[in-house]
Amino acid sequence: MAAARNATRKGRQRSQDPAESLINLSNERLTGLFRWTLLIFAVILNNLNPTPGYNLARVNGILAAWGLVCLSTLLLLFLHQRPGKAFSYATTAVDMLVATMITWASGGYTSPFASLFFLVITVSALRFGAIGSVLCAVVVALLYLVAGAVAPLQEGTYLATFAGERIVILQRMFLFVVVAVLGSVMARAVSAHQELVTRRDVEAKLMTEVNMALANAIEAKDSYTRGHSERLAKLAGACADRMGLSRDEVAAVRLGAILHDVGKIGIPDRILRQSMALTEDEMAWMRRHPQIGADIIGPVEGLHHVAPLIRHHHEKWDGSGYPKGLKGEEIPLGSRIISVADAFEAMVADRIYRPSLGLSKALEEIKGGRGSHFDPRVVDTFLDLIANDTVHLPLPTKDQGQKALPTRPEELAQPAA
């Protein structure tokens, strides 16, 4: 039992939140680009001064070696998905070593390259947080003092050099602290933003899957409409994207297509499974499902913007639709897109009351409804979409129409005894 508990605990420790991995990878890529930018700045600064007062070739050699390290680590970051903590520690140590060597080689305390130490602090803050940034600031301060001490001394002794440059040293120490604090704040802000974006994407994906499960539950009442909402979402989403709608608007159209028939949960099964023409009373029941669906979805936080698309997806361009009899531009654009895609998908699929009409006949019907049932602009875009079919749309494989959908297990014919 104890061994099992220890193994479970170790497994939990090894498990890593995908959002946290993404945040760490993004921070590493950001710091890699930051390091490369500073390298370019250092090379320019080193070669601008015609009389630097130090060995120019030695500093260029150090910068060249650092450039190879920066390039290789940057390539690794964009090729590898999880660099790990060891990568962060190693690159920080290399940065400290390079900054120390350059500070020593270019004049000690008064070296213009001492600002490279600031990079180390800022980068560590992005990757290690507030505590790591403070610890790195302490190490950088010690390295700065050591590098300045062993550099060629102007006064001949360490204490004399320290006393002569004490103002510069104190200024740099103060800047180390300020950069450490600012870097920590920046790291928290970047991580919080990236985590928010990641969580939002995860929640959006989860909501889509839940909505699809709800649509499948409704379609389970009728084996002939199984998969209808998923196919409709692909068609309507592709049409909305082709019309130039924004990413959020396309997502809303897809959600509206997935949930467009959710109101059928309030329609009696005997009407949904009716194989003959519906009576007036039964049609009155069926006409309620868009409003019922909108009433179900409307109160859900994050889906209220989809409710109007569901409510009006049976409206017609000439005003003869339901439930409100809207016409023309009064109908939400998303509803107009869903209406065309819904009619097309229903015609090319087998239904309980008729077989598939076939692709050619379905396209003729869509063209015939242009300007009366359907928005002309949506129809033109949809027909162009079907003609090109560059997104693997759920179309019938033959002109005769789709193959019949598989029946449920309980609907299979029993073998003869």
**Per-residue pLDDT reduced to its tens digit, 390-405:** 555 665 544 444 444 3
- Residue 219 is predicted with a pLDDT of 62
Backbone angles phi, psi at 107, to 5 degrees: 120, 5
Please state whether the peptide bond connecting residue 323 to the residue before it is cis, i.e. omega within 30 degrees of 0: yes
Residue 152 scores a pLDDT above 80:
no
Query: With bands split at pLDDT 50, 70 and 90, how would you rate the model's confidence at 203?
Result: confident
Q: For residue range 331-376, what is the model confidence (pLDDT) as tens digits?
A: 999 999 999 999 998 888 876 667 778 888 889 999 999 999 999 9
Alpha-carbon distance 154 to 60, whole Å? 23
**269 has pLDDT over 70:** yes
Report pLDDT for 341.
Answer: 93
All structural domains of the chain with their residue ranges: 17-197, 220-403
The pLDDT, as a whole number, for residue 409 is 39
pLDDT in tens, 5-55: 454 444 444 444 444 444 466 667 777 777 778 788 778 877 777 777 777
Is pTM beyond 0.85? Reply is no
CATH number of 220-403: 1.10.3210.10
Least confident residue range of 201-210, 313-322, 396-405: 396-405
Burial of 35 (C-beta count, 10 Å sphere; 0-12/13-18/19+): buried
Is the model's pLDDT at 407 over the cut of 50?
A: no
Task: Note the pLDDT tens digit of each residue in 77-108.
Answer: 777 666 677 777 888 888 888 888 888 888 77
pLDDT at residue 253 in the model: 94
Please give the C-alpha separations between residue 134 and each of 121, 127, 170, 260, in angstroms, as whole numbers. Answer: 8, 12, 17, 55
How far apart CA 171 and CA 168 sit, in angstroms, is: 5
Calculate mean pLDDT across residues 254-261: 89
Note the Cα 122 to chain centre separation in Å: 27
Is it the case that residue 117 has pLDDT exceeding 60? yes
